[in-house]
Amino acid sequence: MVIVMNQNATGEQIKRIIGRVHQAGLRTHVVEGEFRTIIGIIGDKKTIMALAVEALEGVEKAVPISSSYKLVSRDFHPQSSIVDVSGVKIGGGSLVVMGGPCAVESREQLMEAAHIVKEGGAQFLRGGAYKPRTSPYAFQGLEEEGLIYLAEAREATGLKIVTEVTDVTAVDLVASYADMLQIGARNMQNFHLLKAVGRSGKPVLLKRGLSATIEEWLHAAEYIVNEGNYDVVLCERGIRTYEEYTRNTLDLSAVGALKHLSHLPVIVDPSHGTGKWHLVRSMSMAAVAAGADGLMIEVHPNPAEALSDGPQSLNPGNYMALMKDIIKLADFLNNEVR
Amino acid sequence: MVIVMNQNATGEQIKRIIGRVHQAGLRTHVVEGEFRTIIGIIGDKKTIMALAVEALEGVEKAVPISSSYKLVSRDFHPQSSIVDVSGVKIGGGSLVVMGGPCAVESREQLMEAAHIVKEGGAQFLRGGAYKPRTSPYAFQGLEEEGLIYLAEAREATGLKIVTEVTDVTAVDLVASYADMLQIGARNMQNFHLLKAVGRSGKPVLLKRGLSATIEEWLHAAEYIVNEGNYDVVLCERGIRTYEEYTRNTLDLSAVGALKHLSHLPVIVDPSHGTGKWHLVRSMSMAAVAAGADGLMIEVHPNPAEALSDGPQSLNPGNYMALMKDIIKLADFLNNEVR
Amino acid sequence: MVIVMNQNATGEQIKRIIGRVHQAGLRTHVVEGEFRTIIGIIGDKKTIMALAVEALEGVEKAVPISSSYKLVSRDFHPQSSIVDVSGVKIGGGSLVVMGGPCAVESREQLMEAAHIVKEGGAQFLRGGAYKPRTSPYAFQGLEEEGLIYLAEAREATGLKIVTEVTDVTAVDLVASYADMLQIGARNMQNFHLLKAVGRSGKPVLLKRGLSATIEEWLHAAEYIVNEGNYDVVLCERGIRTYEEYTRNTLDLSAVGALKHLSHLPVIVDPSHGTGKWHLVRSMSMAAVAAGADGLMIEVHPNPAEALSDGPQSLNPGNYMALMKDIIKLADFLNNEVR
Amino acid sequence: MVIVMNQNATGEQIKRIIGRVHQAGLRTHVVEGEFRTIIGIIGDKKTIMALAVEALEGVEKAVPISSSYKLVSRDFHPQSSIVDVSGVKIGGGSLVVMGGPCAVESREQLMEAAHIVKEGGAQFLRGGAYKPRTSPYAFQGLEEEGLIYLAEAREATGLKIVTEVTDVTAVDLVASYADMLQIGARNMQNFHLLKAVGRSGKPVLLKRGLSATIEEWLHAAEYIVNEGNYDVVLCERGIRTYEEYTRNTLDLSAVGALKHLSHLPVIVDPSHGTGKWHLVRSMSMAAVAAGADGLMIEVHPNPAEALSDGPQSLNPGNYMALMKDIIKLADFLNNEVR
């Protein structure tokens, strides 16, 4: 951390700050600039973070130099991680696809979706049994009934199950059915839930918060890993911006940024990321070309009948065509480019 | 809702949409424009919201006309609400102030803060016993110990207690100590928690989410009221923007907007809203002049020693001076202007 | 500036950077942290800004410590400036109001507006003769004809004229009619125009860009002052955010921030800032309470007939009522609080 | 446009609005909902846009149904356009690359860059002779001297020249040297400049504004085309968001969105879009896979010596490697997928 003093900070004020920093067991380097004095602080990240020096008199601002996440950082763990979910590996070069409806609506809908997803070549079935919805009057999910259908679909197709858990009290139940627990965007900073899935022993898919910075996202992952669970996959799903044409702005540069900063695998959800099915194809291709380890795509046997997020779901025909091209593209990139 | 068709939508596609809308028990009005056909949909809000017509072929977009919250809307309840918290009324013309430290750190710190807060003329003591923190390594709060200190401070000063609850499993415990439950920004769309505080029987202070629209915020309030709890107060605390000088951008226009759209009382938190103690004074005065029903202000006996958010906390001297002027301003506005 | 090296940066890379910094005539301080080396750079702001050290191998990032504006900064000029516009002083404690229609539409409309504005107690008449409009098909302004009407209105009422100039080639013409030149939000970074009004000898009202940071805004002001024109007034008019209820998000915390960082006067435009006439009153009161030196308010004799921005214009009755209260509030603040 | 009335709007108010709409030569459809009356307006886009009905009493809001751009819309011109720049075609399936330094710094630098750009297989040389810079103290470009060097580089390599014009008064001069005129992000809504390049007869590269919506961007293009110049290419270069890791957030979904809404070609600038050279490769690959018609990439013979934007420029080695892979990818997509 670097403390920038006011132009008219007194020697007394500077001394007081240095005293406090040393008291905390940290070292300082004082640099006198033309107009201002700057104090660099060196030592343990956690201790630095706990300082509230900005509140001291004479301080203009405090500039953090390095992030306080550690376990998820590439500095700490230079090799890219591979997360094994019931035998399917995420990360390490192959492309994983998670397909399925936004919400589990009925046994028939889910089974039909599962067979399509499987036929297209995906490895995971997605589908929400617990749906966090903006309005209390919108469909909130089938809850345990939905989980049972997901397990049946796994039985029937061999697909792995990834599904969202929205509350601490449901972690054990969801974990007893799913292969991978999803933390949704709205819960990315639900720290109790992060700790709970960290203790669950299940791999976790951590979606980016609606307006989370990359750094906050990695801190959220750090909460999970800090509980001893290293099986975390990050999922970019669009961020909130002023643009109104798309539901969110899909930040594909996050793929490269995360691979630079962290060792965790990264997948992309172009369905939520754009909110428009006709943009899912181009953004899926782009995500694969950007180096994503996988995709999460909404597929519905009949999007116009969907109880949730129909406008962003692919119909079976579009899904099949996309899967064919994505697989070709991934092969091309693996063989011809990398 | 208004459905806008593609320019080249067929009569068949239009018919199919109308059929589906009628099937849902809703009425339609078809308007043929120069280039496109537009279909207006009339009927029950909740039913309209459940339609996924955007996924149907031939549809360019669906434009919602009215919001789906109801119980919190001024349309539904034209009179401004007054929320009674253990005898202190929020809303209805008088100004309420909630002061105190970001986090409860120790009995001594809290007691000292409480006496200052009381002396300044505030009605509520704030202070977090459970702290949602970006990093798992930051101070996470004293939990029940903090609640006990808060209750002791109430005993000593007569101040009412407002404190954050961050998890469903802690609602009963927090409710047994606090006069008012706070839902923090990160939990504004933690729907399980909203329902739980809705059932708690305690008044609720609902902070705006970091990047929540006013509409989403009112929907979150609707979750609470929908459980039968009408004692909800909204708290503007700044939204996330590109601006870096302030921690958040305090959206004071939300005060007038909420009073236009809803009957619920609105207060403002300029401490989190700006992240800088030297902006708290001007934003407090502005909030009062904008018509806010109250303020939530961070005060710390010694901000530079704070374990959380020191840079945005007022010291006792600044707090006292501010309170004096705020009270004068509120009196002036009540007597001379309104 | 502080250069943060990669964890695995070599001694060679660090040496190369230090060499380059010294070559530029700057000094360095090297600090070795636990994981990374940090290099502080000291010397002339402009020289530091011209370094492209982030492109050198081994560099993780470069963190700027101080801004590169100077003439507009309070560090450089601690006293608050007062800008004299044809005898009316902006800054220094009194409140200035600039009222009038968004666009000059006709002699009649403008004269009617001017008399209302004058009667309410404002000092300036605003009105656009050149209108930057999103669509090429929207009303683009009366151009010189509009300027003539503005001058006539000044003659008739004694109000000073502030009007927007949108192009370098029109600066002389507009300056020959107006008392104060306005740079609109879309031109805040039209650097040719900034230099031209800097050379015009006329006071300048510089509106904040649609998504300009406070720092970029001060840099834009620096362009004007750097041409020798110190008569610059800043005008907050809302920034672009994700919120859709208001046209922009009025950032009232910018008032206090600018007064902390700069010596220039600051006014607020709640009409563009909210886009809704029913929010103008509360945001005007808030701006005055926040310490703004003035307001720019849209008033139209008949908002529903306005060729531009009718929805955000006050009608004569609302304007009169607001002016009465604003003046009272300013008096109260001057006499009872400050 | 759809006008949504207040719940308590009177019959008188509704009548008044309908009268005014009819007076403007437009038709209305009135729909009475459960709580509110809704008035649909049909007729000429430009006339509708000029209405200020939101300012009328009883109106809650006005919801636009269709955009007011026309000449650039795919509705109006269903075939994708191909823009011919001195014999190089942009659009229509082949991939165009524009490479070069951010700023022209010297003859040597530019020539060296041009040969590298050519060798890699690009068709255009980019390089700024006029640089819009946030600070007045940053390097502002070589102006005409830079244009002369660009023309020399064209002579030497056969590359086409694309360069930014920042002011109306310089359009003729820049047009006399360049093959294509670039409008930079800060000038996307400099409407005088848009009209001037529209009249210049030269193809125009229109960059997206820092916080422009897709709709505003298409309106800016409409300004150019409305002057009779159909040779417009759009360039996505990142938008301003709250994320701080990247300089901007590159919005690759804009590629698909623009191709849906408009017939104009679209290219992508991953250098400005990310601000970090190490993200340029992945975002270039992604842009091509997303269906962009081309790329604009910053290449500098020695990024660490660059006077502008060094941190986001590729060095020759990285550029060559990227070009090889991009060309392969484009071939693969053309032959195997589309």
The tens digit of pLDDT for each residue in B11-63 reads: 888 988 888 889 888 888 888 877 788 888 888 777 776 776 777 788 888 87
Cβ-Cβ contacts under 8 Å between B and D: the total is 60
One-letter amino acid identity for A190? N
Average pLDDT, chain D: 93
Instruction: Copy the structure tokens of residue A309.
Output: 């997020």
What pLDDT is stored for residue B75 in this prediction?
Answer: 84
In whole angstroms, give the CA distance from residue D338 to residue A61.
53
Q: Identify the helix (H) or strand (E) that includes residue A171.
A: helix A171-177
Work out whether the CA dihedral A208, A213, A215, A216 comes out positive or negative.
negative
In the predicted structure, residue B274 carries a pLDDT above the cut 90: yes
Interface probe with A: pick from C1, C2, C59, C262, most Cβ of A within 10 Å: C2
Residue C46, classed as helix, strand or coil, is helix
* Of C255, C252, C251, C187, the residue nearest C223 (C-alpha): C187
Q: Is the pLDDT of residue D95 over 90?
A: yes
pLDDT in tens, C81-130: 999 999 999 999 999 999 999 999 999 999 999 999 999 999 999 999 99
> Closest Cα to residue D157, out of D221, D187, D121, D114?
D114
With 0-12 CB in 10 A as exposed, 13-18 as middle and 19+ as buried, what is D47? middle
Residues of D with CB under 8 A from a CB of A: 211, 213-215, 239, 241-246, 249-253, 255-257, 260-261, 273-274, 278-279, 281-283, 285-291, 325, 328-329, 332-333, 336-337
Higher pLDDT, D242 or A55: D242
Taking an 8 Å cut-off on Cβ atoms, the answer to whether C50 and D240 are in contact is no
| Residue D35 neighbours by CB under 8 Å, 6+ apart | B66, B75, D7
Task: With beta carbons under 8 A apart, name residues in chain C contacting D3.
Answer: none
Structure tokens at B294: 């109250």
pLDDT digits (tens, 9 = 90+) for B97-123: 999 999 999 999 999 999 999 999 999
3-state secondary structure D253-306: HHHHHHHHHECCCEEECHHHHHCCHHHHHHHHHHHHHHCCCEEEEEECCCHHHC
What is the reported pLDDT for C6? 83
The partner residue sitting opposite D240, judged by closest CB among B32, B66, B242, is B242
Position C31 confidence tier, pLDDT thresholds 50, 70, 90: confident
Query: For residue D91, what are the contacts with CB-CB under 8 A and spacing of at least 6?
Result: D80, D81, D82, D83, D233, D264, D265, D293
Q: To the nearest whole angstrom, how far is the Cα of C286 from the nearest Cα of chain B?
A: 4
Separation of first and last alpha carbons in chain C: 38
Scan for tokens 């986090």, then name that residue.
B103
Q: What is the mean pLDDT of residues A250-277?
A: 97
Per-residue pLDDT at A58 exceeds 80? yes
Neighbours of C10 (CB within 10 A): 12
d(CA A41, CA A22): 9
CA distance D239 to B137: 33
State the pLDDT confidence band at A118, using cuts at 50, 70 and 90: very high
* Set of chain D residues whose Cβ sits within 8 Å of the Cβ of C68: 135, 137-138
The tokens of C117 are what?
A: 């504005």
In this predicted structure, what is the pLDDT of residue D151? 98
Interchain CB contacts (distance < 8 Å): C and D: 123
**C-alpha distances in Å from residue B55, one per residue of A128, B13, B52:** 19, 12, 6
A152 CB neighbour count, 10 Å cutoff: 14
Which residue of chain D is at minimal alpha-carbon distance from A327? D337
Tell me, what's the pLDDT at D48? Answer: 78
Q: What is the pTM of this model?
A: 0.93
DSSP class of residue A37?
E
**pLDDT per residue over D303-332, tens digit each?**
877 877 778 899 999 999 999 999 999 999
Q: Which two three-digit tokens encode residue A218? A: 């990695």
The mean-pLDDT minimum among A145-159, A275-289, B184-198, C67-81 falls in C67-81
Q: How far apart, in whole angstroms, are the C-alpha atoms of residue C140 and residue C137? A: 8
Which of D252, D323, D334 to mutate to probe the A interface, most A CBs <10 Å?
D252
Say if residue B200 is exposed, middle or buried (CB neighbours under 10 Å; 0-12, 13-18, 19+): buried
Q: Check if B2-63 and B83-337 are the same fold.
A: no
* Sequence-distant (≥ 6) Cβ neighbours of residue A15 within 8 angstroms: none
A25-53 average pLDDT score: 79
For chain B, give the mean pLDDT. Answer: 93
A138-186 pLDDT per residue, tens? 888 999 999 999 999 999 999 999 999 999 999 999 999 999 999 999 9
Number of B/C CB contacts below 8 angstroms equals: 134
What does the pLDDT look like over D278-287, one tens digit per residue? 999 999 999 9
By mean pLDDT, which of B164-168, C309-313, D177-181, D204-208 is the weakest? C309-313
Q: Exposed e or buried b for every residue in D189-201, given b needs 16+ CB within 10 A?
A: bbbbbbbbbbebe
Higher pLDDT, C35 or C225: C225
Q: Is a pLDDT exceeding 70 seen at residue D139?
A: yes
d(CA B189, CA B152): 31
Answer whether residue C55 shows pLDDT above 90.
Answer: no
For residue C289, list chain B residues with Cβ-Cβ distance below 8 A.
282, 285-286, 288-290, 329
More confident position, A243 or D140: A243
pLDDT band at B338 (very low <50, low <70, confident <90, very high): low
What pLDDT does residue B167 have? Answer: 94
> Which CATH fold topology does B2-63 show?
Alpha-Beta Plaits (3.30.70)
User: Apex CA A79: angle with CA A73 and CA A83, to 5°?
Assistant: 85
| Cα torsion D103, D104, D105, D108: sign | positive
Beta carbons of D203 and D83 less than 8 angstroms apart: yes
Evaluate whether D223 touches D195 at the Cβ level (below 8 Å). Answer: yes
Give residue A32's pLDDT band: very low, low, confident or very high (50, 70, 90): confident
Class of domain B83-337: alpha beta
D232 DSSP β-pair partners: D204
Please answer whether residues B212 and B244 qualify as being in contact, where contact means their C-beta atoms are separated by less than 8 angstroms: no
Residue B326 has pLDDT above 90, yes or no: yes
* Least Cα separation, residue A147 to chain C (angstroms): 35
Q: Do B239 and C243 touch (CB under 8 A)?
A: yes
Segments in chain B forming alpha helices (H): 11-23, 45-50, 107-120, 144-157, 171-177, 191-199, 214-225, 253-261, 270-274, 277-290, 316-332
Q: In this predicted model, which residue has the larger pLDDT, B136 or C180? A: C180
In chain D, domain spans: 2-63, 83-337
A148 near A173, Cβ under 8 Å?
Answer: no
Name which of C29, C36, C42 is nearest A29 (Cβ-Cβ). Answer: C29
Q: Between D259 and C53, name the one with better pLDDT.
A: D259
Note the pLDDT of residue B36. 80
Q: What is the pLDDT of residue B23?
A: 86
Give the chain C residue nearest A243 (alpha carbons). C242
Q: How far is D122 from chain C (nearest CA, A)?
A: 23
What phi, psi does A15 have (nearest 5°)?
-60, -40
Name B102's Cβ contacts closer than 8 Å, sequence gap at least 6: B127, B128, B131, B271, B298, B300, B306, B308, B309, B312, B313
CA dist A140 and A161 (Å) reads 19
Tokens 């230099």 sit at which residue?
A: C195
Structure tokens at D253: 């979904």
pLDDT at residue A113 tops 90? yes
Other Cβ atoms less than 10 A from the Cβ of B259: the count is 23
Interval D28-48: pLDDT, tens: 888 887 778 888 888 877 777
Enter the ipTM: 0.92
Helices (H), chain C: 11-23, 45-50, 107-120, 144-157, 171-177, 191-199, 214-225, 253-261, 270-274, 277-290, 316-332
Q: What does the pLDDT read at residue D16?
A: 87
The answer to whether the Cβ–Cβ distance between A213 and D256 falls below 8 Å is: no
Lowest mean pLDDT among A270-279, B52-61, D8-17: B52-61
Residues of A with CB under 8 A from a CB of C: 2, 4, 7, 29, 31-36, 38, 40, 42-44, 63, 65-66, 75, 211, 240-242, 244
- The Cα–Cα gap between B217 and A243 comes to 20
∠ CA(A185), CA(A141), CA(B20), 5° rounding?
105
Count Cβ atoms within 10 A of the Cβ of residue B77 and give its class: 0-12 exposed, 13-18 middle, 19 or more buried: middle
